[in-house]
Chain A
Amino acid sequence: MSAKEYRTARSARGGLLVVEKAPGIAFGDRVLIRDHRGRKRNGLVIRSAGNSTLIQVYEGTDDLDLESTWVRFLDQPLEISLSPELLGRIFNGIGDARDGRPPIVSSIRRNINGSAINPAARTYPRKFIQTGISAIDGLNSLVRGQKLPLFSGSGLPHNRLTAQIVRQARLVDEESSFSIVFAAMGVSHSDARFFEEDFASSGVLGNVVMFINLADDPPVERLAVPRVALTAAEYLAFDQDRHVLVILTDMTNYAEALREVATAKGDVPSRKGYPGYLYSDMAEIYERSGRIRDRHGSITLLPVVSMPSDDITHPIPDLTGYITEGQIVLSRELHNQGIYPPVHISPSLSRLMKDGIGRDDTRSDHPSVASQLYALYARALETRNLASIVGADELSGQDRRYLEFAEKFDRYFVGQGEDEDRSIIETLNLAWDLLSMFPKQALTRISETDIAKYHHSGKD
């Protein structure tokens, strides 16, 4: 490792450092910075010209005395060490141990940026992952290799829901190894503690790798967190044959850090001040999920995106939705009614659901039950709307049945306990309890055989 060291830092602002007279520095090179107190900081070269090199400093550039700042170019990109020992460990955003235990020692080190999966190397995601949550499993099923974000808002229980998913998620048919990579960006100390304690007390911690960047850690470090986490996930999935569920929370904090750095660099802003490349940047992260030909493992990605002012058209959820394979949307209205998890199914969608459910994966009636529940619920919401105009008393008997359905659907199907782990069969049976409120011929999306088999009036 040729370690050229310079003391020619010229300016520092907003997490960016300019170093002069450092010729021939590689773009993307990793940088070690020693400040006047001798403390180390990490950086990355984001623009390189003969006379000036621009460095993004992960720990930020606050409080740097340029005169006595030493900059060393390491001649290598930012890498992390990988081994099966990752499981059960807690790291910071750039992969240094945070749990007081020794660093991972391994001959396998990989660039955190990864490189694009060849589309011809992919295999299409298939096979159901059970989260034990009816609104997800029944209506928006998660499939191995899928990227399915959770759209939430401040004050909504996405932390409790992700923790529940981490505790409950499993593959139904096989005992193959299933692991979790959990990456937190800009979370509060109390949230970080909540997750750690929850994983520890439920006994899953040994199967989880955590990367934690706290709210008071430097924002620039947030840019590395998902990349570090996914590098670990790729190793566990494609070297170690594990099915890995990656949770990234909260991508909104990530995107805000990106905007901060972009603004400091002077990049042309597009919507709401976010750089035009926000889409590609997030895609580089999200597209690292998937399955690969001839590999046994898979990476399933569940990013949490909190929607600023609950606005789903805000660039962060919007661009996320354009990249991911569906979305699970939480609703403040349901939350205020005391329904947990407050999943609003109308805007929620799992695009890959059809490939992970049905006879071979869950049960043969699953696809049509889901489609029927969606149709009935859409109609029920219209009726609810109407009832709010003309009053429920004015409604026909048929319409009142829809109202009652919506009510029960929200309470008993979507709503469930935080410790309630429902199997997919329980979820489907629950669905039939609701469907049986309607006469058989109203269930136009379900085949006559399934109706005969599962409709309650068909059984007696």
Chain B
Amino acid sequence: MNENTGRGIIREINGPIVTIRLPGVRSGEQVRIGEMGLVGEAIALIGEDAVVQVYESTEGVRPGEPVERLGWPLSVELGPGLLGGIFDGVQRPLEEIYLNSGDHIPRGVVLPALNREKIWHFVPSPECTSGSELAAGAVLGSVRETERIEHRILLPPERHGTLLELAPEGDYRLEDPIGRIRGADGRSHKLKLYHRWPVRNPRPYRRRDNSIVPLITGQRIIDTFFPLIKGGKAAVPGPFGAGKTVVQHQIARWSNADIVIFVGCGERGNELADVLETFPQLLDPLTGRSLMERTLLVANTSNMPVVAREASIYVGLTMAEYYRDQGYDVVMLADSTSRWAEALREVSGRLGQMPVEDGYPAYLASRLAAVYERAGRVETQSGDKGSVTLIGTVSPPGGDFSEPVTAHTKEIIQTYWALSKELADARHYPAIDWVSSFSGHIGVAAEWWHEKVGKKWEQRRAKALALLSRDAELSRIVNLVGPEALSGAQRWELEGAALIKEGVLQQSALDPIDTFSSPEKQYLLLKMMLTIYQKGADLIELGVPVQELRELPMLDKAKRAKQLFNSEQTEKLIELNEEFIQEFEDVRIEYAKFKEHGK
């Protein structure tokens, strides 16, 4: 046992936390534990001992068994072949593990994330000629990873120097050398189609980029009311069953991102099976290609080892940054960040660290902020533009949003979709509560909408929100003294709010037409509801009894419009709108006649 051999022994096993004696081991270093060769990470050095968190169950491990240094921190493989795949919290390929080992995940498996046998057709970048000086992150060439994604092969971020040689266009495997570069150290380094990167270090970029556009998700309450931008940070807190996962799956399906990374962190296995079974069949509305071609999954389900849960977020983020560095807009969905925080808490508890709030360690807030800080739109090392949008769900115990994870997250993010149990219980989906949700990007989004869709976006949005808040006020009165206390105009306001809620805000993820709504369709639906409200309000002003208006069949028809016409059929929505205006006109004439006779 000395520094050179890199070997030592196990002293104590306490669940996933193992104390070892291993001279020379560094904090953050990967170690192999015991006869089974379980992998773990040294997280603390205490005197001569090191404390290791192990990514797999330690059942059957004994004190006295050997341990071994691996010499590197937790890192992931970055190269073609990630898309369409499903990986565990430390990037082991779960499909290959299934094929090799069957239904359950065995321990101690060592399988590389990327397939070594697969052949890729590499096309070198024309500007990469022998002798050219390459900066870190330069694009060496590309391979077609899926029909829709051209995978750029990047010079690893810490490498730069003179290109000695680059392979010609042709077919290569991952381990085949595709070139050599003389680094700053004067030595020659082989280049391959992939490289490794330590997950706890954010990948470098040139600078943050401020040219921002909204991420379009096809979800009306998000795009029209609480928009998110590409490179933004969003949180979806909500009690169980309120619809957090559905919100994320909807974004994974329909958003206009190039790449989607879904990290199932401490949640259900069936939800990943759902994605794996449905996404290959679903087509992206923008490209018409299978959604799985742009999607990759990281899975540490709630029954998988807790320590790998903590790692899974970083593993997902690093892959997200890697595609960002190729110039893509990446959306990373983390479901749920609360489970990640709990993993942190469990390890800190086993280490005997002082808990501060609800058992969480003092560094919870700073770790959370550091995770979200890895989102953003950047100018990449090679001068391209790319972004990582990070959307995390939060699962507050008892649905109490004042608990530490929700409270700290709220301080960090700019877009907040708060899910409400009351709305979910009333089957108002998505149960995003318009009172407590917010978006810090209304101004930016307004510019985009006004230019691309219509000039009245911001104004209509504000009108609808005003109507909704009137609705809340009036409903309070009704609940105190009954509906008789309201005037006709006030009752019509309630109808107007109902139109907004049922005709615009409610959107079924299960309805084949309603599940996705293009910005144009969103704009027209909102216009339709506001038109009906406005026309009706005008008639009430003239003296038409509200009861007559409430019985107009057009109200139900308007509420159904979202399901009748898909995003392509915008002219139908325009027609319908005209039809409604005409109907109001008829009512007005009818009423005028009636008054005439009355006299």
Query: Which residues of A are in contact with B by a Cβ distance under 8 Å?
Result: 23-29, 46-50, 77, 111, 113-125, 145, 238, 267-271, 276-277, 279-280, 283-284, 286-288, 290, 292-293, 295, 313-315, 318-319, 321-323, 325-327, 346-347, 349, 351-352, 354, 367, 371, 374-375, 378, 385-386, 389-390, 394, 441, 444
CB distance from A409 to the nearest CB of B (A): 15
Q: How far is the CA of A114 from the CA of B59 in the complex (A)?
A: 11
Q: Cβ of A124: which chain B residues have Cβ within 8 Å of it?
A: 270, 273-274, 277
Instruction: Using CB atoms, name the residue of chain A closest to B245.
Output: A351
| Contact A26-B241, Cβ < 8 Å, known A269-B359, A287-B269 | no
- Contact across chains for B62 and A48 when beta carbons are under 8 A apart: yes
- Contact across chains for A315 and B397 when beta carbons are under 8 A apart: yes
Q: Cβ of A287: which chain B residues have Cβ within 8 Å of it?
A: 268-269, 301-303
- Contact across chains for B94 and A120 when beta carbons are under 8 A apart: yes
CB distance from A103 to the nearest CB of B (A): 24
Q: Interface on chain B toward A: helix, strand, loop, or mixed SS? A: mixed
- Contact across chains for B62 and A123 when beta carbons are under 8 A apart: no
Instruction: Tell me the chain B residues, 79-95 only, with Cβ under 8 Å from chain A.
Output: 86, 94-95
- Contact across chains for B481 and A390 when beta carbons are under 8 A apart: yes
CB distance from B399 to the nearest CB of A (A): 6
CB distance from A126 to the nearest CB of B (A): 10
Q: How far is the CA of A118 from the CA of B104 in the complex (A)?
A: 5
- Interface CB pairs A-B, < 8 A, 21: A49-B63, A77-B60, A115-B57, A115-B104, A117-B103, A118-B101, A119-B269, A123-B273, A124-B274, A268-B355, A271-B397, A271-B398, A280-B342, A283-B266, A283-B301, A288-B303, A295-B103, A323-B268, A347-B425, A386-B482, A444-B556
Q: How far is the CA of A293 from the CA of B395 in the complex (A)?
A: 30
Other contacts beyond A124-B277, A268-B349, A271-B397: 19, CB < 8 A: A29-B60, A49-B11, A114-B104, A116-B104, A119-B299, A120-B272, A122-B269, A123-B273, A124-B270, A124-B273, A268-B359, A279-B342, A287-B301, A313-B397, A347-B425, A354-B510, A374-B427, A385-B479, A390-B481
Instruction: Tell me the chain B residues, 261-305 only, with Cβ under 8 Å from chain A.
Output: 264, 266, 268-270, 272-274, 276-277, 299, 301-305
Q: Cβ of A286: which chain B residues have Cβ within 8 Å of it?
A: 302-303
CB distance from A347 to the nearest CB of B (A): 6
Q: Cβ of B553: which chain A residues have Cβ within 8 Å of it?
A: 441
CB distance from B364 to the nearest CB of A (A): 12
**B598 interfacial by beta-carbon distance below 8 Å:** no
**B257 interfacial by beta-carbon distance below 8 Å:** no
- Contact across chains for B268 and A117 when beta carbons are under 8 A apart: no
Q: Cβ of A49: which chain B residues have Cβ within 8 Å of it?
A: 11-13, 19, 63
Q: Cβ of A118: which chain B residues have Cβ within 8 Å of it?
A: 94, 97-98, 101-105
Instruction: Using CB atoms, name the residue of chain A closest to B306.
Output: A280
Instruction: Tell me the chain B residues, 529-570 only, with Cβ under 8 Å from chain A.
Output: 553, 556, 559-560
Residue among B59, B105, B342, B482 facing the most chain A CB atoms (10 A cut-off): B59
| Contact A322-B240, Cβ < 8 Å, known A48-B62, A346-B425 | yes
CB distance from A253 to the nearest CB of B (A): 21
Q: Of B13, B398, B482, which is within 8 A of A47 by CB?
A: B13
Instruction: Tell me the chain B residues, 351-366 only, with Cβ under 8 Å from chain A.
Output: 355, 358-359
Q: Cβ of B276: which chain A residues have Cβ within 8 Å of it?
A: 119-120
CB distance from A276 to the nearest CB of B (A): 5
Q: Cβ of A354: which chain B residues have Cβ within 8 Å of it?
A: 510
Q: How far is the CA of A48 from the CA of B59 in the complex (A)?
A: 11
Q: Of A270, A378, A389, which is within 8 A of B425 by CB?
A: A378
Q: How far is the CA of A82 from the CA of B304 in the complex (A)?
A: 25
Q: How far is the CA of A238 from the CA of B64 in the complex (A)?
A: 37
